[in-house]
Amino acid sequence: MGNQLIADQHSHIPILVHRLDLEKLMQAIEPNDVELTGTLDGSFPMSVQDGLPAIQGGKLHSRYPGGVLRYRRDQPSTEMSKLPVKIAC
């Protein structure tokens, strides 16, 4: 019975985000082609698709005074593409 949630492709686990420090997150991931700063709050549904965690929908918002999202378009995001999660826009 414990694997039922993983096997059910339509199950969603609500993820709540409170004071997520993006700069600390980027330090843990260490991407060379992405820079994020600021603090986020919100929620999103997590599900499993094709055996991988998937995020579709949800809302995140930044706390004052905002932050920075910067990436290099001249290089493919190799570090971010290695993360085992699908994010649908």
Query: pLDDT tens across 37-60, in order?
Result: 999 999 999 998 888 889 989 999
Number of domains in the chain: 1
Residue 14 lies in domain: 4-88
Q: pLDDT below 50 — which residues of the chain?
A: 1, 5-7, 89
Distance CA 20, CA 82 (A): 21
What is the per-residue pLDDT for 51? Answer: 85
For residue 77, give both structure tokens: 């995001």
**What ranges make up the beta strands (E) of 2-85?**
13-21, 34-36, 39-49, 52-56, 59-62, 69-71
